Structure 1
Protein backbone atom coordinates (compact mmCIF):
# COMPACT_ATOMS: atom_id res chain seq x y z
CA UNK A 1 0.00 0.00 0.00
CA UNK A 2 1.45 3.36 -1.06
CA UNK A 3 1.11 6.33 1.30
CA UNK A 4 1.28 9.94 0.14
CA UNK A 5 2.65 12.53 2.57
CA UNK A 6 1.57 16.16 2.41
CA UNK A 7 2.23 19.24 4.50
CA UNK A 8 4.46 19.37 7.58
CA UNK A 9 7.59 17.25 7.45
CA UNK A 10 9.27 17.53 10.87
CA UNK A 11 9.40 14.35 12.93
CA UNK A 12 7.01 15.47 15.67
CA UNK A 13 4.40 16.99 13.31
CA UNK A 14 0.82 16.02 14.23
CA UNK A 15 -0.31 13.42 11.72
CA UNK A 16 -3.75 13.32 10.14
CA UNK A 17 -4.63 10.22 8.11
CA UNK A 18 -7.39 10.64 5.52
CA UNK A 19 -9.27 7.46 4.58
CA UNK A 20 -11.71 7.44 1.66
CA UNK A 21 -15.04 5.68 1.26
CA UNK A 22 -16.02 2.81 -1.02
CA UNK A 23 -14.14 4.32 -3.98
CA UNK A 24 -11.00 3.95 -1.88
CA UNK A 25 -8.70 6.40 -3.64
CA UNK A 26 -6.59 9.20 -2.20
CA UNK A 27 -7.75 11.76 -4.78
CA UNK A 28 -11.10 12.10 -2.99
CA UNK A 29 -9.37 14.37 -0.45
CA UNK A 30 -7.96 16.92 -2.88
CA UNK A 31 -10.41 19.67 -1.67
CA UNK A 32 -9.02 19.32 1.88
CA UNK A 33 -5.28 19.42 1.30
CA UNK A 34 -4.77 23.20 1.06
CA UNK A 35 -6.68 23.73 4.32
CA UNK A 36 -5.06 20.92 6.31
CA UNK A 37 -1.43 20.87 5.19
CA UNK A 38 -0.34 24.10 6.94
CA UNK A 39 -1.22 22.48 10.27
CA UNK A 40 -0.60 18.74 9.87
CA UNK A 41 1.41 16.05 8.22
CA UNK A 42 -1.43 14.71 6.09
CA UNK A 43 -1.38 11.10 4.91
CA UNK A 44 -3.56 9.91 2.04
CA UNK A 45 -3.57 6.48 0.42
CA UNK A 46 -5.29 4.23 -2.08
CA UNK A 47 -6.93 1.40 -0.17
CA UNK A 48 -5.93 -2.15 -1.03
CA UNK A 49 -7.54 -3.26 -4.28
CA UNK A 50 -8.11 0.31 -5.52
CA UNK A 51 -6.14 2.85 -7.55
CA UNK A 52 -2.38 2.38 -7.28
CA UNK A 53 -2.81 -0.33 -4.61
CA UNK A 54 -3.96 -2.90 -7.16
CA UNK A 55 -4.51 -6.34 -5.67
CA UNK A 56 -7.05 -9.15 -5.58
CA UNK A 57 -8.81 -9.08 -2.23
CA UNK A 58 -9.24 -12.38 -0.38
CA UNK A 59 -12.52 -14.02 0.51
CA UNK A 60 -13.71 -12.98 3.95
CA UNK A 61 -12.17 -9.53 3.57
CA UNK A 62 -13.11 -7.55 6.67
CA UNK A 63 -12.98 -4.16 8.37
CA UNK A 64 -10.32 -5.54 10.73
CA UNK A 65 -8.15 -6.43 7.74
CA UNK A 66 -8.56 -2.92 6.29
CA UNK A 67 -7.53 -1.39 9.62
CA UNK A 68 -4.52 -3.70 9.98
CA UNK A 69 -3.32 -2.93 6.45
CA UNK A 70 -3.38 0.78 7.16
CA UNK A 71 -1.77 0.46 10.60
CA UNK A 72 1.03 -1.68 9.15
CA UNK A 73 1.64 0.74 6.29
CA UNK A 74 1.85 3.67 8.70
CA UNK A 75 4.21 1.75 11.00
CA UNK A 76 6.54 1.03 8.07
CA UNK A 77 6.85 4.81 7.67
CA UNK A 78 7.55 5.26 11.38
CA UNK A 79 4.11 6.75 12.08
CA UNK A 80 2.84 5.32 15.36
CA UNK A 81 0.57 8.11 16.60
CA UNK A 82 -2.10 9.71 14.42
CA UNK A 83 -5.64 10.98 14.07
CA UNK A 84 -8.01 9.52 11.47
CA UNK A 85 -10.50 11.36 9.26
CA UNK A 86 -12.63 8.91 7.30
CA UNK A 87 -15.50 9.22 4.86
CA UNK A 88 -18.20 6.52 5.31
CA UNK A 89 -16.19 3.28 4.87
CA UNK A 90 -13.05 5.23 5.76
CA UNK A 91 -14.69 6.41 8.98
CA UNK A 92 -15.49 2.82 9.93
CA UNK A 93 -11.85 1.94 9.31
CA UNK A 94 -11.05 4.72 11.77
CA UNK A 95 -13.38 3.23 14.39
CA UNK A 96 -11.82 -0.20 13.87
CA UNK A 97 -8.34 1.28 14.28
CA UNK A 98 -9.46 2.95 17.50
CA UNK A 99 -10.54 -0.47 18.79
CA UNK A 100 -7.58 -2.51 17.59
CA UNK A 101 -4.77 0.06 17.96
CA UNK A 102 -5.84 2.31 20.85
CA UNK A 103 -2.29 3.45 21.61
CA UNK A 104 -1.80 4.71 18.07
CA UNK A 105 -5.12 6.48 17.44
CA UNK A 106 -5.71 9.85 19.08
CA UNK A 107 -8.96 11.07 17.52
CA UNK A 108 -11.38 9.89 14.87
CA UNK A 109 -13.64 11.85 12.53
CA UNK A 110 -16.41 9.79 10.90
CA UNK A 111 -18.04 11.56 7.95
CA UNK A 112 -21.55 10.35 7.08
CA UNK A 113 -20.91 7.06 8.83
CA UNK A 114 -22.82 4.84 11.23
CA UNK A 115 -22.76 2.55 14.23
CA UNK A 116 -24.50 -0.23 12.29
CA UNK A 117 -25.90 -0.29 8.77
CA UNK A 118 -29.40 1.18 8.47
CA UNK A 119 -32.15 -0.44 6.42
CA UNK A 120 -32.21 2.60 4.15
CA UNK A 121 -28.49 2.48 3.40
CA UNK A 122 -28.74 -1.28 2.86
CA UNK A 123 -31.46 -0.64 0.25
CA UNK A 124 -29.23 1.89 -1.53
CA UNK A 125 -26.37 -0.59 -1.60
CA UNK A 126 -28.65 -3.29 -3.01
CA UNK A 127 -29.67 -0.98 -5.84
CA UNK A 128 -26.04 -0.17 -6.62
CA UNK A 129 -25.01 -3.81 -6.41
CA UNK A 130 -27.86 -4.87 -8.72
CA UNK A 131 -26.77 -2.27 -11.28
CA UNK A 132 -23.21 -3.55 -11.15
CA UNK A 133 -24.05 -7.23 -11.41
CA UNK A 134 -26.99 -7.14 -13.81
CA UNK A 135 -26.40 -4.04 -15.96
CA UNK A 136 -22.68 -3.42 -15.79
CA UNK A 137 -19.85 -1.19 -14.67
CA UNK A 138 -20.88 1.84 -16.73
CA UNK A 139 -24.40 1.85 -15.24
CA UNK A 140 -22.95 1.47 -11.74
CA UNK A 141 -20.59 4.38 -12.30
CA UNK A 142 -23.28 6.62 -13.85
CA UNK A 143 -25.57 6.06 -10.87
CA UNK A 144 -22.90 6.73 -8.27
CA UNK A 145 -23.06 10.56 -8.36
CA UNK A 146 -26.79 10.41 -7.57
CA UNK A 147 -25.93 8.96 -4.18
CA UNK A 148 -23.02 11.33 -3.57
CA UNK A 149 -24.12 14.82 -4.58
CA UNK A 150 -27.17 17.10 -4.29
CA UNK A 151 -29.25 17.42 -7.45
CA UNK A 152 -28.63 21.13 -7.96
CA UNK A 153 -24.86 20.70 -7.58
CA UNK A 154 -24.96 17.85 -10.10
CA UNK A 155 -26.93 19.96 -12.55
CA UNK A 156 -24.27 22.69 -12.37
CA UNK A 157 -21.30 20.32 -12.76
CA UNK A 158 -22.29 17.99 -15.59
CA UNK A 159 -19.05 18.43 -17.53
CA UNK A 160 -17.02 17.51 -14.47
CA UNK A 161 -19.24 14.53 -13.65
CA UNK A 162 -19.05 13.20 -17.21
CA UNK A 163 -15.25 13.35 -17.10
CA UNK A 164 -15.21 11.65 -13.69
CA UNK A 165 -17.51 8.91 -14.98
CA UNK A 166 -15.09 8.11 -17.79
CA UNK A 167 -12.16 8.06 -15.36
CA UNK A 168 -13.97 5.77 -12.91
CA UNK A 169 -14.93 3.31 -15.64
CA UNK A 170 -11.34 3.18 -16.92
CA UNK A 171 -9.90 2.73 -13.41
CA UNK A 172 -12.68 0.59 -11.94
CA UNK A 173 -11.41 -1.50 -9.02
CA UNK A 174 -13.04 -4.69 -10.34
CA UNK A 175 -16.36 -6.31 -9.51
CA UNK A 176 -14.93 -8.93 -7.16
CA UNK A 177 -12.90 -6.40 -5.19
CA UNK A 178 -15.78 -3.97 -4.89
CA UNK A 179 -18.23 -6.67 -3.76
CA UNK A 180 -15.80 -7.93 -1.12
CA UNK A 181 -15.17 -4.42 0.17
CA UNK A 182 -18.90 -3.73 0.14
CA UNK A 183 -19.59 -6.92 2.10
CA UNK A 184 -17.02 -5.90 4.72
CA UNK A 185 -18.65 -2.48 4.96
CA UNK A 186 -22.18 -3.85 5.33
CA UNK A 187 -21.08 -6.42 7.91
CA UNK A 188 -19.41 -3.94 10.26
CA UNK A 189 -21.36 -3.47 13.50
CA UNK A 190 -19.85 -1.35 16.26
CA UNK A 191 -22.78 -1.53 18.66
CA UNK A 192 -21.20 -4.24 20.86
CA UNK A 193 -17.90 -2.36 21.00
CA UNK A 194 -18.91 1.30 21.30
CA UNK A 195 -18.02 1.61 24.99
CA UNK A 196 -14.43 0.57 24.20
CA UNK A 197 -13.90 3.44 21.75
CA UNK A 198 -12.83 6.05 24.28
CA UNK A 199 -10.98 8.42 21.95
CA UNK A 200 -12.67 11.70 21.00
CA UNK A 201 -14.83 10.92 17.96
CA UNK A 202 -16.60 13.46 15.78
CA UNK A 203 -19.58 12.29 13.74
CA UNK A 204 -19.80 14.87 10.95
CA UNK A 205 -22.82 14.55 8.68
CA UNK A 206 -24.92 16.28 6.06
CA UNK A 207 -28.66 16.50 6.63
CA UNK A 208 -29.45 16.02 2.93
CA UNK A 209 -27.36 12.87 2.48
CA UNK A 210 -29.33 10.49 0.25
CA UNK A 211 -27.22 7.42 1.06
CA UNK A 212 -26.84 7.65 4.84
CA UNK A 213 -29.54 9.30 7.01
CA UNK A 214 -28.06 12.00 9.22
CA UNK A 215 -29.67 10.30 12.23
CA UNK A 216 -27.08 7.51 11.87
CA UNK A 217 -24.37 10.01 12.82
CA UNK A 218 -26.41 11.19 15.79
CA UNK A 219 -26.78 7.59 16.99
CA UNK A 220 -23.06 7.01 16.57
CA UNK A 221 -22.10 10.11 18.57
CA UNK A 222 -24.57 9.24 21.34
CA UNK A 223 -23.28 5.68 21.68
CA UNK A 224 -19.62 6.64 22.12
CA UNK A 225 -18.13 7.74 25.47
CA UNK A 226 -16.49 10.81 23.89
CA UNK A 227 -18.63 11.27 20.80
CA UNK A 228 -19.77 14.58 19.40
CA UNK A 229 -21.94 15.57 16.45
CA UNK A 230 -21.74 18.32 13.85
CA UNK A 231 -24.46 18.60 11.20
CA UNK A 232 -24.14 20.43 7.90
CA UNK A 233 -27.42 21.50 6.35
CA UNK A 234 -26.38 20.86 2.75
CA UNK A 235 -23.82 19.03 0.65
CA UNK A 236 -25.00 15.44 0.20
CA UNK A 237 -23.00 12.35 1.02
CA UNK A 238 -19.80 13.92 -0.34
CA UNK A 239 -20.19 17.34 1.26
CA UNK A 240 -16.41 17.51 1.66
CA UNK A 241 -16.42 18.01 -2.12
CA UNK A 242 -19.58 20.04 -2.70
CA UNK A 243 -19.20 22.42 0.28
CA UNK A 244 -15.52 22.03 1.00
CA UNK A 245 -14.95 25.49 2.48
CA UNK A 246 -17.59 24.99 5.16
CA UNK A 247 -16.55 21.38 5.72
CA UNK A 248 -12.87 22.28 6.09
CA UNK A 249 -13.63 25.07 8.54
CA UNK A 250 -15.77 22.81 10.74
CA UNK A 251 -13.16 20.05 10.67
CA UNK A 252 -10.30 22.38 11.56
CA UNK A 253 -12.30 23.97 14.37
CA UNK A 254 -13.06 20.60 15.98
CA UNK A 255 -9.47 19.45 15.62
CA UNK A 256 -8.26 22.65 17.26
CA UNK A 257 -10.77 22.35 20.10
CA UNK A 258 -9.80 18.76 20.87
CA UNK A 259 -6.03 19.07 20.34
CA UNK A 260 -5.12 19.49 24.00
CA UNK A 261 -6.99 16.36 25.24
CA UNK A 262 -5.41 14.35 22.39
CA UNK A 263 -1.91 15.44 23.46
CA UNK A 264 -2.56 14.59 27.10
CA UNK A 265 -3.72 11.11 26.10
CA UNK A 266 -0.54 10.36 24.13
Structure 2
Protein backbone atom coordinates (compact mmCIF):
# COMPACT_ATOMS: atom_id res chain seq x y z
CA UNK A 1 0.00 0.00 0.00
CA UNK A 2 1.40 3.38 -1.00
CA UNK A 3 1.63 5.85 1.89
CA UNK A 4 2.83 9.46 1.88
CA UNK A 5 4.01 10.85 5.23
CA UNK A 6 4.64 14.57 5.59
CA UNK A 7 4.47 17.44 8.08
CA UNK A 8 6.07 17.51 11.53
CA UNK A 9 8.87 14.99 11.94
CA UNK A 10 9.11 14.85 15.75
CA UNK A 11 8.44 11.36 17.10
CA UNK A 12 5.96 12.89 19.56
CA UNK A 13 4.00 14.76 16.90
CA UNK A 14 0.38 13.62 16.65
CA UNK A 15 -0.36 11.68 13.49
CA UNK A 16 -3.39 12.29 11.27
CA UNK A 17 -4.33 9.56 8.82
CA UNK A 18 -6.54 10.74 5.95
CA UNK A 19 -8.75 8.14 4.26
CA UNK A 20 -10.54 8.98 1.00
CA UNK A 21 -13.91 7.78 -0.28
CA UNK A 22 -14.78 5.35 -3.04
CA UNK A 23 -12.17 6.79 -5.40
CA UNK A 24 -9.55 5.69 -2.90
CA UNK A 25 -6.82 8.23 -3.76
CA UNK A 26 -4.86 10.14 -1.16
CA UNK A 27 -4.75 13.15 -3.49
CA UNK A 28 -8.39 13.81 -2.58
CA UNK A 29 -7.08 15.55 0.54
CA UNK A 30 -4.85 18.05 -1.27
CA UNK A 31 -6.91 21.08 -0.09
CA UNK A 32 -6.25 20.12 3.55
CA UNK A 33 -2.57 19.24 3.49
CA UNK A 34 -0.93 22.66 3.79
CA UNK A 35 -2.89 23.53 6.93
CA UNK A 36 -2.67 20.14 8.60
CA UNK A 37 1.08 19.81 8.04
CA UNK A 38 1.72 22.85 10.21
CA UNK A 39 0.85 21.01 13.42
CA UNK A 40 0.68 17.30 12.58
CA UNK A 41 2.42 14.42 10.92
CA UNK A 42 0.03 13.68 8.05
CA UNK A 43 -0.44 10.31 6.34
CA UNK A 44 -2.30 9.97 3.06
CA UNK A 45 -2.58 6.71 1.16
CA UNK A 46 -3.99 5.15 -1.97
CA UNK A 47 -6.31 2.38 -0.88
CA UNK A 48 -5.63 -1.16 -2.02
CA UNK A 49 -6.56 -1.66 -5.66
CA UNK A 50 -6.47 2.07 -6.48
CA UNK A 51 -3.87 4.56 -7.73
CA UNK A 52 -0.34 3.70 -6.63
CA UNK A 53 -1.53 0.64 -4.69
CA UNK A 54 -2.46 -1.63 -7.61
CA UNK A 55 -3.86 -5.05 -6.79
CA UNK A 56 -6.71 -7.38 -7.64
CA UNK A 57 -9.16 -7.41 -4.77
CA UNK A 58 -10.50 -10.79 -3.62
CA UNK A 59 -14.12 -11.88 -3.68
CA UNK A 60 -15.84 -11.05 -0.40
CA UNK A 61 -13.66 -8.00 0.15
CA UNK A 62 -14.97 -6.15 3.21
CA UNK A 63 -14.67 -3.00 5.30
CA UNK A 64 -12.81 -5.05 7.89
CA UNK A 65 -10.25 -5.94 5.22
CA UNK A 66 -9.78 -2.26 4.41
CA UNK A 67 -9.23 -1.43 8.07
CA UNK A 68 -6.81 -4.30 8.62
CA UNK A 69 -4.75 -3.37 5.55
CA UNK A 70 -4.38 0.21 6.73
CA UNK A 71 -3.56 -0.81 10.30
CA UNK A 72 -0.84 -3.16 9.03
CA UNK A 73 0.62 -0.56 6.65
CA UNK A 74 0.81 2.00 9.46
CA UNK A 75 2.37 -0.47 11.90
CA UNK A 76 5.02 -1.33 9.30
CA UNK A 77 6.02 2.35 9.45
CA UNK A 78 6.00 2.41 13.27
CA UNK A 79 2.78 4.39 13.47
CA UNK A 80 0.96 2.74 16.34
CA UNK A 81 -1.39 5.49 17.54
CA UNK A 82 -3.13 8.05 15.37
CA UNK A 83 -6.20 10.11 14.62
CA UNK A 84 -8.07 9.27 11.43
CA UNK A 85 -10.16 11.50 9.17
CA UNK A 86 -12.34 9.67 6.66
CA UNK A 87 -14.61 10.83 3.86
CA UNK A 88 -17.68 8.64 3.16
CA UNK A 89 -16.15 5.17 2.61
CA UNK A 90 -13.07 6.47 4.43
CA UNK A 91 -15.31 7.29 7.38
CA UNK A 92 -16.48 3.68 7.43
CA UNK A 93 -12.82 2.60 7.48
CA UNK A 94 -12.28 4.96 10.43
CA UNK A 95 -15.15 3.43 12.41
CA UNK A 96 -13.99 -0.10 11.65
CA UNK A 97 -10.49 0.79 12.85
CA UNK A 98 -11.91 2.33 16.03
CA UNK A 99 -13.77 -0.92 16.72
CA UNK A 100 -11.01 -3.37 15.78
CA UNK A 101 -8.01 -1.37 17.09
CA UNK A 102 -9.41 0.84 19.89
CA UNK A 103 -6.01 1.16 21.53
CA UNK A 104 -4.54 2.65 18.35
CA UNK A 105 -7.23 5.12 17.27
CA UNK A 106 -7.23 8.26 19.46
CA UNK A 107 -9.86 10.33 17.63
CA UNK A 108 -11.84 10.07 14.41
CA UNK A 109 -13.49 12.55 12.10
CA UNK A 110 -16.16 11.29 9.71
CA UNK A 111 -17.13 13.42 6.71
CA UNK A 112 -20.56 12.77 5.16
CA UNK A 113 -20.79 9.36 6.79
CA UNK A 114 -23.57 7.05 7.93
CA UNK A 115 -24.46 4.16 10.23
CA UNK A 116 -25.78 2.09 7.36
CA UNK A 117 -26.65 3.01 3.82
CA UNK A 118 -30.06 4.67 3.50
CA UNK A 119 -32.43 4.13 0.58
CA UNK A 120 -31.51 7.35 -1.22
CA UNK A 121 -27.75 6.74 -1.14
CA UNK A 122 -28.27 3.12 -2.16
CA UNK A 123 -30.25 4.30 -5.20
CA UNK A 124 -27.45 6.71 -6.14
CA UNK A 125 -24.83 3.97 -5.95
CA UNK A 126 -27.02 1.59 -7.92
CA UNK A 127 -27.38 4.20 -10.68
CA UNK A 128 -23.60 4.63 -10.78
CA UNK A 129 -23.13 0.86 -10.86
CA UNK A 130 -25.64 0.54 -13.73
CA UNK A 131 -23.77 3.20 -15.69
CA UNK A 132 -20.50 1.34 -15.20
CA UNK A 133 -21.87 -2.06 -16.20
CA UNK A 134 -24.27 -1.06 -18.97
CA UNK A 135 -22.65 2.01 -20.53
CA UNK A 136 -18.99 1.94 -19.55
CA UNK A 137 -16.17 3.56 -17.62
CA UNK A 138 -16.32 6.92 -19.38
CA UNK A 139 -20.02 7.34 -18.55
CA UNK A 140 -19.38 6.35 -14.93
CA UNK A 141 -16.56 8.90 -14.65
CA UNK A 142 -18.56 11.62 -16.42
CA UNK A 143 -21.49 11.20 -14.01
CA UNK A 144 -19.35 11.14 -10.87
CA UNK A 145 -19.04 14.96 -10.41
CA UNK A 146 -22.84 15.25 -10.36
CA UNK A 147 -22.87 13.34 -7.07
CA UNK A 148 -19.86 15.16 -5.61
CA UNK A 149 -20.23 18.86 -6.33
CA UNK A 150 -22.97 21.54 -6.25
CA UNK A 151 -24.32 22.57 -9.65
CA UNK A 152 -23.08 26.17 -9.46
CA UNK A 153 -19.58 25.03 -8.47
CA UNK A 154 -19.56 22.59 -11.39
CA UNK A 155 -20.56 25.35 -13.80
CA UNK A 156 -17.75 27.59 -12.54
CA UNK A 157 -15.07 24.87 -12.64
CA UNK A 158 -15.69 23.16 -15.98
CA UNK A 159 -12.01 23.06 -16.99
CA UNK A 160 -11.03 21.50 -13.67
CA UNK A 161 -13.77 18.85 -13.97
CA UNK A 162 -12.68 17.94 -17.49
CA UNK A 163 -9.10 17.52 -16.24
CA UNK A 164 -10.34 15.33 -13.36
CA UNK A 165 -12.37 13.22 -15.80
CA UNK A 166 -9.29 12.62 -17.94
CA UNK A 167 -7.24 11.67 -14.86
CA UNK A 168 -9.89 9.28 -13.52
CA UNK A 169 -10.31 7.61 -16.90
CA UNK A 170 -6.56 7.15 -17.26
CA UNK A 171 -6.14 5.74 -13.75
CA UNK A 172 -9.43 3.90 -13.32
CA UNK A 173 -9.18 1.28 -10.59
CA UNK A 174 -10.85 -1.41 -12.70
CA UNK A 175 -14.46 -2.52 -12.87
CA UNK A 176 -14.06 -5.61 -10.68
CA UNK A 177 -12.11 -3.74 -8.01
CA UNK A 178 -14.65 -0.91 -7.94
CA UNK A 179 -17.60 -3.30 -7.70
CA UNK A 180 -16.00 -5.16 -4.80
CA UNK A 181 -15.19 -1.94 -2.96
CA UNK A 182 -18.71 -0.69 -3.64
CA UNK A 183 -20.20 -3.92 -2.29
CA UNK A 184 -18.10 -3.58 0.88
CA UNK A 185 -19.33 -0.02 1.31
CA UNK A 186 -22.99 -0.80 0.65
CA UNK A 187 -23.10 -3.83 2.95
CA UNK A 188 -21.39 -2.46 6.06
CA UNK A 189 -23.69 -1.66 8.97
CA UNK A 190 -22.57 -0.10 12.27
CA UNK A 191 -26.03 0.14 13.82
CA UNK A 192 -25.31 -2.45 16.51
CA UNK A 193 -21.67 -1.46 17.13
CA UNK A 194 -21.62 2.33 17.08
CA UNK A 195 -22.09 2.53 20.84
CA UNK A 196 -18.73 0.78 21.29
CA UNK A 197 -16.88 3.62 19.54
CA UNK A 198 -16.08 5.79 22.56
CA UNK A 199 -13.25 7.91 21.13
CA UNK A 200 -13.95 11.60 20.47
CA UNK A 201 -15.59 11.81 17.04
CA UNK A 202 -16.25 14.78 14.80
CA UNK A 203 -19.01 14.45 12.22
CA UNK A 204 -19.07 16.98 9.38
CA UNK A 205 -21.88 16.97 6.85
CA UNK A 206 -23.10 19.23 4.09
CA UNK A 207 -26.77 20.17 3.96
CA UNK A 208 -26.79 20.14 0.14
CA UNK A 209 -25.09 16.75 -0.25
CA UNK A 210 -26.87 14.97 -3.12
CA UNK A 211 -25.31 11.57 -2.41
CA UNK A 212 -25.54 11.26 1.39
CA UNK A 213 -28.36 13.25 3.03
CA UNK A 214 -27.29 15.21 6.10
CA UNK A 215 -29.81 13.27 8.22
CA UNK A 216 -27.40 10.34 7.97
CA UNK A 217 -24.82 12.27 10.00
CA UNK A 218 -27.53 13.23 12.50
CA UNK A 219 -28.35 9.56 13.04
CA UNK A 220 -24.67 8.75 13.39
CA UNK A 221 -24.31 11.57 15.92
CA UNK A 222 -27.13 10.11 18.00
CA UNK A 223 -25.49 6.66 17.97
CA UNK A 224 -21.89 7.60 18.86
CA UNK A 225 -21.30 8.20 22.60
CA UNK A 226 -18.73 11.00 22.25
CA UNK A 227 -19.54 12.83 19.03
CA UNK A 228 -19.69 16.43 17.83
CA UNK A 229 -21.78 17.32 14.78
CA UNK A 230 -21.01 20.21 12.43
CA UNK A 231 -23.35 20.88 9.48
CA UNK A 232 -22.04 23.06 6.66
CA UNK A 233 -24.76 24.89 4.71
CA UNK A 234 -23.32 24.09 1.28
CA UNK A 235 -20.49 22.38 -0.54
CA UNK A 236 -21.98 19.12 -1.76
CA UNK A 237 -20.62 15.67 -0.99
CA UNK A 238 -17.04 16.85 -1.54
CA UNK A 239 -17.30 20.06 0.49
CA UNK A 240 -13.71 19.53 1.69
CA UNK A 241 -12.84 20.49 -1.91
CA UNK A 242 -15.53 23.04 -2.80
CA UNK A 243 -15.57 24.85 0.57
CA UNK A 244 -12.11 23.92 1.78
CA UNK A 245 -11.47 27.04 3.91
CA UNK A 246 -14.65 26.57 5.96
CA UNK A 247 -14.09 22.82 6.19
CA UNK A 248 -10.48 23.21 7.31
CA UNK A 249 -11.48 25.71 9.98
CA UNK A 250 -14.06 23.32 11.46
CA UNK A 251 -11.61 20.43 11.44
CA UNK A 252 -8.68 22.34 12.92
CA UNK A 253 -10.82 23.91 15.65
CA UNK A 254 -12.08 20.49 16.76
CA UNK A 255 -8.59 18.97 16.62
CA UNK A 256 -7.29 21.80 18.79
CA UNK A 257 -10.15 21.60 21.28
CA UNK A 258 -9.81 17.84 21.74
CA UNK A 259 -5.99 17.65 21.61
CA UNK A 260 -4.16 15.83 24.41
CA UNK A 261 -2.57 18.37 26.74
CA UNK A 262 0.86 16.72 26.71
CA UNK A 263 1.81 17.70 23.16
CA UNK A 264 2.62 21.21 21.97
CA UNK A 265 3.91 21.61 18.42
CA UNK A 266 6.88 23.85 17.69
CA UNK A 267 5.74 27.47 17.20
CA UNK A 268 4.99 28.21 13.56
CA UNK A 269 6.29 31.79 13.84
CA UNK A 270 8.06 34.06 16.29
CA UNK A 271 7.02 37.54 17.34
CA UNK A 272 9.55 40.19 16.24
> Would you call these one fold, judging by a TM-score over 0.5?
yes
For the aligned residues, what is the CA RMSD? 1.0
1:151 is aligned to 2:141: no
Equivalent residue for 1:210?
Answer: 210
Q: How does 1:53-64 map to 2 (within 5 A)?
A: 53-64=53-64
Task: Decide which structure has greater helix share.
Answer: 1
TM-score, L = length of structure 2: 0.95
How far residue 202 of structure 1 moved from its aligned partner, in angstroms, is 1.1
What residue in structure 1 maps to residue 268 of structure 2?
none
| Runs (5+) with no aligned partner, structure 1 | none
1:123 is matched with which residue? 123
Q: Matches of 1:56 and 1:231 in 2, distance apart?
A: 37
Equivalent residue number for residue 224 of structure 1: 224
Instruction: Determine the C-alpha separation between the residues in 2 that align with 1:141 and 1:28.
Output: 15
User: Deviations along 1:211-250, whole A, 9 cap, x unmatched?
Assistant: 0000100110110111120000010000000000000000
Post-superposition offset of 1:184: 0.2
Q: Which runs of 4+ in 1 moved over 2 A?
A: 260-263
Q: How many Å separate the matches in 2 of 1:216 and 1:45?
A: 26
What residue in structure 1 maps to residue 31 of structure 2? 31
Per the TM alignment, residue 168 of structure 1 is displaced from its structure 2 partner at its CA by 0.4
The CA deviation at 1:10 is 1.1
CA shift in 2, pair 1:118/1:212, >3 Å: same
Task: After TM superposition, give the deviation of residue 186 of structure 1 in Å.
Answer: 0.4
TM-score, length-scaled by structure 1: 0.98
What secondary structure, in the 3-state scheme, does the structure 1 residue paired with 2:230 have? strand
Indicate whether 1:113 and 2:91 are aligned: no
Deviation of the 1:260 alpha carbon:
3.0
Which residue in the other structure is 1:87 paired with? 87
> Within 1, Cα distance between the matches of 2:67 and 2:177?
17
Between the aligned partners of 2:31 and 2:258, the Cα distance in structure 1 is: 23
Give, in whole Å, the separation in 2 of the partners of 1:127 and 1:161: 20
Q: Deviations over 1:104-133 (max 9, x none)?
A: 000110000101100000000000000000
Gap change, CA 1:11 and 1:144, over 3 Å in 2: same
Aligned equivalent of 1:175: 175
Could you tell me how far 1:2 is from its partner in structure 2? Answer: 1.4
* Aligned equivalents of 1:262, 1:243: Cα separation in 2: 32
Shift of 1:261: 7.8
Give secondary structure in 1 for the equivalent of 2:116. Answer: coil
Whether contact under 8 Å (1:149, 1:237) holds in the other structure is yes
The count of residues paired between Structure 1 and Structure 2 equals 263
Aligned in 2, Cα 1:154/1:251: closer, same or farther, shift over 3 Å? same
Deviation at 1:194, TM superposition (A): 1.0
